[in-house]
Chain A
Amino acid sequence: MEKGKGIMGSGRRWAVHFSDNSTAPSSRDIPDPPGFARASVDQDDSTVSRQKKDAESNWKSQKAWEVAQAPFKNLLMMGFMMWMAGNTVHLFSIGITFSALWQPISALQGVGKVFEPYKDNKVDLLGPKLLFIALNLGGLALGVWKLNTLGLLPTHASDWVSSLPPAQEVEYSGGGIPL
């Protein structure tokens, strides 16, 4: 995996190709040595590289799918943690809930970056990306649901009126028992 990265990645600056791949004989001054069949070599070469590329892209898409599925494990773990944390508000449950909310959000922000290594013309990343996003959204939903069960979501009327000041009265009256 490391090697693949080394070749494919941005590490390559320059290269000397000792094999001349040009097929047009007219471009060369020196004729081919006798017995050398250029076409066969060319053909051979290209099939090998194509095969290589295919394998690579296959491998890439496989990896991309793997990466896309990774949040699922996370999701399960989160669910377990949340179940452990219980439904009362205290430091532990708050911490878990907020991390459950934060992880998917940060993951969603970095969707492009996560799938960048697997970017290729031939690899279709849309599927894994969508899966990744969907799973993370699922995680987010789980977090929100947890927040709701903790009663920290302003979904009730009481959350919106609890700081309403009392209504002003138009009339004013004073008095009492004579001094």
Chain B
Amino acid sequence: MAIRSFFLFILFFSSSLSPVFSLYEDQVGLMDWHQQYIGKVKQAVFSSQRAGRKRVVVSTEENVIASLDLRHGEIFWRHLLGADDVIDGIDIGLGKYVITLSSGGSILRSWNLPDGQMVWESSLQGPKLSKSFLLVPTNLKFDKDNVLVVFSNGRLHAISCIDGEVLWKKDFEAESFEVQQVIQPPGSDLIYVVGFAASYQFEMYQINAKNGELLKHESASFSSGFSGEVSLVSTETVVALDSTGSILLTISFQDGKISSQQTPISNLVEDSLGLAVIIPSSVSGIFAIKTDAVTVFIRVIGEGKLEVVEKTTHEIAVSDALSISEDQQAFALIQHASSEIHLTVKLAHDWDGNLLKESVKMDWQRGLVHKVFINNYIRTDRSYGFRVLIVMEDHSLLLLQQGEIVWSREDGLASIIDVTTSELPVERNGVSVAKVEHNLFEWLKGHMLKLKGTLMLASPEDMAAIQSMRLKSSEKSKMTRDHNGFRKLLIVLTRAGKLFALHTGDGRIVWSHLLRSLHKSEACQSPIGLNLYQWQVPHHHAMDENPSVLVVSRCGPSSDTPGVLSFVDTYTGKELSSLSLDHAVVQVIPLPYTDSTEQRLHLLINADKHAHLYPKTSEALSIFKREFLNIYWYSVEDQNGIIKGHALKCKCTGEVADEFCFDTRDLWSVVFPSESEKIVATVTRKLNEVVHTQAKVVADQDVMYKYISRNLLFVATVAPKGSGEIGSVTPEESWLVAYLIDTVTGRILHRVTHHGSQGPVHAVFSENWVVYHYFNLRAHRYEMSVIEIYDQSRADNKDVWKLVLGKHNLTSPISLFSRPEVITKSQSYFFTHSLKAIAVTSTAKGITSKQLLLGTIGDQVLALDKRFLDPRRTVNPTQAEKEEGIIPLTDSLPIIPQSYVTHALRVEGLRGIITVPAKLESTTLVFAHGVDLFFTQLAPSRTYDSLTEDFSYALLLITIVALVAAIFVTWRLSERKELQEKWR
């Protein structure tokens, strides 16, 4: 015991000597990796060919605008707009400005194409919400200045391309007018604004592009009404569907006269089934409609006559038109056929002739093609070549050229929903998954280089070679479990419903799997992946059983749609099975019990508060029955401000006898007064967190007993007035209340009010403490508070002899129904940054001290020692307290630049930080995800249990050899001397 405490002391010393954790420049990339993504591409614009390097500018659903290299798919530059700054349109103006329209059409920005610097920004206001359009006419000039035409918020603007100045504007204030298209026929000075009024009237406004003057306003009413979008088939003709979705309306407004033609779809397609929708496309003369089963391409032949040109049952995607010469337009069409996709490029007026027809092998794990963007180039023989950029169902982006995939980007990883980890396979003799041995010569060369480096003989080139060797050391990217537990698989679920396994060593994708259960189907219209859970983690049969994860998904956005479970093997990425449930999934509760095959028991709660047990085996049921009375669950209804506790009652009564379904009853409820409190944050301890000890040794060898409970819930509420943006309320009418609630009994263990404070609240709960971050309106600063909770009823266990002999009940199981006597200690500090995420390091045994990981507003991860958030800090700590490691109290928390975990990098759009313990107690693995991914290893108390990477093994070996030799030599000498002594 004494030795142990001594070691802890040493540990503390070594950590207190250098509390700053940082790394050297040449250590960057050794343990960490960083990947940049952009998200699912919404719109792509190819830069004109005059520009030096071929590039494509894209806008994505993650609100990123990026310029990508067309050769390799690398990012030239990238900007992440805010979460509420959704991009509506992008285009390239004057060949050198990227124009973006965002925030519902209210912000127009211009960026310099080569380097991505912002040139200007203008804010566009308008009378009412509407669709927004961005047009960049090539030949519309106004005083030598190119003009941008923007329709947004019910107002038409003409904006200078050079400086973003509004040249003229025109309001469309008519109450019911809904704009559908804004058209600028090339070569004319006219702008057409077409739309619907009162859903049955077609309106057309003709506007002079020079000054915004209204030239003509025509309207025509259609008794059948409209549904969905309109498709533009020529500059002066649009096609729309009537409200029944069965009649096509061809409306032309040539010369300001509206004329129309109605064609029932059944006239064109005999076996038309279900509701049709128009696929938006800008190809002149041709449009497509899609019903459930078929896609039909229809050509408009003058005077509103329609003709079917092709009918296909394949999944299809069409690009926008690309004008390749004065009067020729080309477009790309992609059709799926089993494991291939067929790309055809056609001219708009000539359906039957193909400019290009290619087949490309496509991994079915990428799903369907969602979007196609076409671009042309001139081949050496002066003919046109085409390349297409396609966006797949899994949000990946691919460039096809000459029948090959030139490059691909896995941009689905920009929208991660949930992360879990899995161990790698155990190393078996000869069955190493990745064989990464190189030959003897290279091995020798490497060691020679390293020796040169150690002896400081290496030239700069040698140093570079050594560095690159260190970076791609094969050890860290092996596909087997390592002794220290650094190598793991990160299993991530993306918004596209694709599951990826990333290797922690180098971040490469080990496998990816588009979940079949997340495919659209008859029963499941719009499946959404929700969460990942560790389903089976084999320890006893680690050699012959693979771990698996549970993916919980749901068939629609509302919470009462049925759920889908899929089980995926984490070694191979194969979907083991999937279950379509007949009930909804509102909550998933992983239980702390496993069956004999080490499958974890899960309780799924449906919308009617019935609990369903999974796996549905009799063994699981018997385990569950044993613990039946001790299982509770709670629900947080944040809309109503109620937290309810429930217990399981009996088997489900009703329709079908299902022995895995249980009724529940309400036990308790905490109702927050809706006029004064609104729930903004709830947080619990992580289920898999390991706590080493229940005692905390304070100064003078005193003991405090932590109140460690898995069933504690931290709830933060704010005044409803103060739930808006920071600064929207005065300090007097805003407050924040923090609660600690026991979720078994509903007992409120602690309640504290912060007057004059406001959300957003970010909180993290670990062991017996909770740290939360909020805004203090009085001080105009962010604040962080810590609450530590201690068990007072154990405090009198101080008799050493009883403890020595083990005559105490400190480790006997306790029931939460016995009233705990707790005391809390809390303290608050100012903090400079606002936060996006907060997490805490976790280690295998919970011995190592903790660090808070703060995702700052600058998209970086900052490590902050928990010792800074210790409620026992005082301004003048006593000697004993100093020895214990208590830092003198200061009003604000320090930000040490070296303790940025992400060092010089940024994790754009940071959303979450996940910590996973390694097997080595000192080390924790950190994964931060947003649009970018970042992974590193952290040792909050330094690596006290292993030698550092730069430890000189050679020196150690030499020393040992020298010592052994010295021992032998002296032994011989002493023997000889002894002999001589004896002869004397």
A residues whose Cβ falls under 8 Å from a Cβ of B: 89, 94, 147, 151-179
Contact A165 B694 (CB under 8 A): yes
Q: How far is the CA of A153 from the CA of B710 in the complex (A)?
A: 34
Contact B682 A173 (CB under 8 A): no
Q: Which residue of B lies closest to A161 (CB)?
A: B695
Contact B682 A176 (CB under 8 A): yes
B429 within 8 A of A: no
Contact A167 B812 (CB under 8 A): yes
Within 8 A of A (CB), among B664-699: 682, 684, 687, 691-695, 697
In the complex, chain B residues whose CB is within 8 Å of the CB of A154: 1-2, 5, 800
Q: Which residue of A lies closest to B636 (CB)?
A: A177
Contact A171 B815 (CB under 8 A): yes
Known: A157-B703, A172-B592, A179-B559. A165 touches B800 (CB 8 A): no
Interface locus among B337-345, B612-620, B625-633, B769-777? B625-633
10 additional A-B residue pairs with CB within 8 Å, beyond A160-B800, A161-B693, A179-B585:
A160-B803, A165-B692, A165-B693, A165-B694, A170-B816, A172-B627, A172-B711, A173-B632, A178-B559, A179-B587
B588 within 8 A of A: yes
Q: How far is the CB of A102 from chain B (nearest CB, A)?
A: 16
In the complex, chain A residues whose CB is within 8 Å of the CB of B635: 175-176, 178
Contact B711 A169 (CB under 8 A): yes
Q: How far is the CA of A139 from the CA of B810 in the complex (A)?
A: 38
Select A158's contact among B702, B708, B814, beta carbons within 8 Å: B702
In the complex, chain B residues whose CB is within 8 Å of the CB of A162: 1, 4-5, 693, 695, 697, 703
Contact A173 B2 (CB under 8 A): no
Q: How far is the CA of A154 from the CA of B743 in the complex (A)?
A: 38
Q: Which residue of B lies closest to A90 (CB)?
A: B13
Known: A157-B803, A158-B703, A160-B804. A177 touches B682 (CB 8 A): yes
Q: How far is the CA of A160 from the CA of B552 in the complex (A)?
A: 45
Q: Which residue of A lies closest to B813 (CB)?
A: A168
Closest 3 CB pairs of A and B: A174-B589, A160-B803, A156-B701
In the complex, chain B residues whose CB is within 8 Å of the CB of A171: 630-632, 711, 744, 815-817
B475 within 8 A of A: no
Contact A159 B1 (CB under 8 A): yes
Q: How far is the CB of B370 from chain A (nearest CB, A)?
A: 26
In the complex, chain B residues whose CB is within 8 Å of the CB of A169: 709-711, 813-816
Q: How far is the CB of B691 from chain A (nearest CB, A)?
A: 5
Select B632's contact among A158, A172, A178, beta carbons within 8 Å: A172
Contact B694 A89 (CB under 8 A): no
B residues whose Cβ falls under 8 Å from a Cβ of A: 1-2, 4-6, 9, 530-531, 552, 554, 559, 585-592, 603, 605, 627, 630-638, 645-646, 682, 684, 687, 691-695, 697, 701-703, 705-706, 708-711, 743-744, 797-800, 803-804, 810-817
In the complex, chain A residues whose CB is within 8 Å of the CB of B684: 176
Q: How far is the CA of A111 from the CA of B722 in the complex (A)?
A: 82
Contact B633 A175 (CB under 8 A): yes
Q: How far is the CA of A170 from the CA of B626 in the complex (A)?
A: 12
Q: How far is the CB of B601 from chain A (nearest CB, A)?
A: 11
- Report whether over half of chain B's contact residues are helix, strand or loop; otherwise say mixed: mixed
Select A159's contact among B5, B603, B645, beta carbons within 8 Å: B5
Q: Which residue of B lies closest to A155 (CB)?
A: B800
Contact B4 A163 (CB under 8 A): yes
Q: How far is the CA of A153 from the CA of B1 in the complex (A)?
A: 8
Contact B1 A160 (CB under 8 A): yes
In the complex, chain B residues whose CB is within 8 Å of the CB of A165: 691-694, 811
In the complex, chain B residues whose CB is within 8 Å of the CB of A168: 811, 813-814
Q: How far is the CA of A154 from the CA of B701 in the complex (A)?
A: 10
In the complex, chain A residues whose CB is within 8 Å of the CB of B627: 172
Contact A158 B559 (CB under 8 A): no
Select B708's contact among A156, A166, A178, beta carbons within 8 Å: A166
In the complex, chain A residues whose CB is within 8 Å of the CB of B638: 177
Select A163's contact among B585, B586, B693, B812, beta carbons within 8 Å: B693
In the complex, chain A residues whose CB is within 8 Å of the CB of B797: 157, 161
Q: How far is the CB of A35 from chain B (nearest CB, A)?
A: 50
Q: How far is the CB of A108 from chain B (nearest CB, A)?
A: 22
Select A173's contact among B530, B634, B692, B695, beta carbons within 8 Å: B634
In the complex, chain B residues whose CB is within 8 Å of the CB of A172: 591-592, 627, 630-632, 710-711
Total A-B residue pairs with C-beta atoms closer than 8 Å? 160
Q: How far is the CB of B746 from chain A (nearest CB, A)?
A: 10
In the complex, chain A residues whose CB is within 8 Å of the CB of B552: 179
- Report whether over half of chain A's contact residues are helix, strand or loop; otherwise say mixed: loop
In the complex, chain B residues whose CB is within 8 Å of the CB of A164: 693-695, 810-811
In the complex, chain A residues whose CB is within 8 Å of the CB of B708: 166-167
Q: How far is the CB of A11 from chain B (nearest CB, A)?
A: 16
Q: How far is the CA of A158 from the CA of B559 in the complex (A)?
A: 50
Interface centre among A158, A160, A169, A171 (most CB of B within 10 A): A171
Q: Which residue of A lies closest to B634 (CB)?
A: A175
In the complex, chain B residues whose CB is within 8 Å of the CB of A161: 693-695, 703, 705, 797, 803, 810
Q: How far is the CA of A179 from the CA of B559 in the complex (A)?
A: 8
Contact A179 B710 (CB under 8 A): no
Contact A166 B630 (CB under 8 A): no
Q: How far is the CA of A147 from the CA of B812 in the complex (A)?
A: 33
Select B813's contact among A147, A155, A170, A178, beta carbons within 8 Å: A170
Known: A174-B603, A178-B586. A159 touches B2 (CB 8 A): yes
Interface centre among A155, A160, A175 (most CB of B within 10 A): A175
Contact B693 A157 (CB under 8 A): no
In the complex, chain A residues whose CB is within 8 Å of the CB of B817: 171
Known: A171-B815, A172-B631, A179-B552. A166 touches B711 (CB 8 A): no
Could you list 5 examples of A-B contacts with CB < 8 Å? A161-B695, A165-B692, A166-B691, A174-B590, A175-B635
Contact A166 B694 (CB under 8 A): yes
Contact A166 B693 (CB under 8 A): yes
Q: How far is the CA of A11 from the CA of B83 in the complex (A)?
A: 99
Q: Which residue of B lies closest to A168 (CB)?
A: B813
Contact A158 B697 (CB under 8 A): yes
Contact A167 B811 (CB under 8 A): yes
In the complex, chain B residues whose CB is within 8 Å of the CB of A157: 701, 703, 797-800, 803
Q: Which residue of A lies closest to B691 (CB)?
A: A166
Contact B587 A178 (CB under 8 A): yes
Q: How far is the CB of A12 from chain B (nearest CB, A)?
A: 20
Q: How far is the CA of A160 from the CA of B801 in the complex (A)?
A: 10
In the complex, chain B residues whose CB is within 8 Å of the CB of A158: 695, 697, 701-703
Q: How far is the CA of A154 from the CA of B588 in the complex (A)?
A: 46
Q: How far is the CA of A161 from the CA of B807 in the complex (A)?
A: 12
Q: How far is the CA of A164 from the CA of B797 in the complex (A)?
A: 12
Q: How far is the CB of A148 from chain B (nearest CB, A)?
A: 10
Q: Which residue of A lies closest to B645 (CB)?
A: A173
Q: How far is the CB of A145 from chain B (nearest CB, A)?
A: 14
Q: Which residue of B lies closest to A147 (CB)?
A: B2
Q: How far is the CB of A146 from chain B (nearest CB, A)?
A: 13
Q: How far is the CB of B725 from chain A (nearest CB, A)?
A: 22
In the complex, chain A residues whose CB is within 8 Å of the CB of B636: 175-178
In the complex, chain B residues whose CB is within 8 Å of the CB of A177: 636, 638, 682
Q: How far is the CA of A169 from the CA of B632 in the complex (A)?
A: 13
Select B9's contact among A89, A159, A163, A176, beta carbons within 8 Å: A89
Q: How far is the CA of A166 from the CA of B588 in the complex (A)?
A: 26
Q: Which residue of A lies closest to B814 (CB)?
A: A167
Q: How far is the CA of A159 from the CA of B9 in the complex (A)?
A: 13
Q: Which residue of A lies closest to B743 (CB)?
A: A173
Q: How far is the CA of A171 from the CA of B5 in the complex (A)?
A: 33
Q: How far is the CA of A178 from the CA of B585 in the complex (A)?
A: 9
Q: How far is the CA of A62 from the CA of B109 in the complex (A)?
A: 106
Q: How far is the CA of A57 from the CA of B98 in the complex (A)?
A: 112
Contact A179 B530 (CB under 8 A): yes
Q: How far is the CB of B784 from chain A (nearest CB, A)?
A: 23
Contact A179 B711 (CB under 8 A): no
Q: How far is the CA of A35 from the CA of B607 in the complex (A)?
A: 136
Q: How far is the CA of A167 from the CA of B693 in the complex (A)?
A: 9
Interface centre among B5, B634, B797, B810 (most CB of A within 10 A): B5
Q: How far is the CA of A168 from the CA of B627 in the complex (A)?
A: 14
Q: Which residue of A lies closest to B630 (CB)?
A: A171
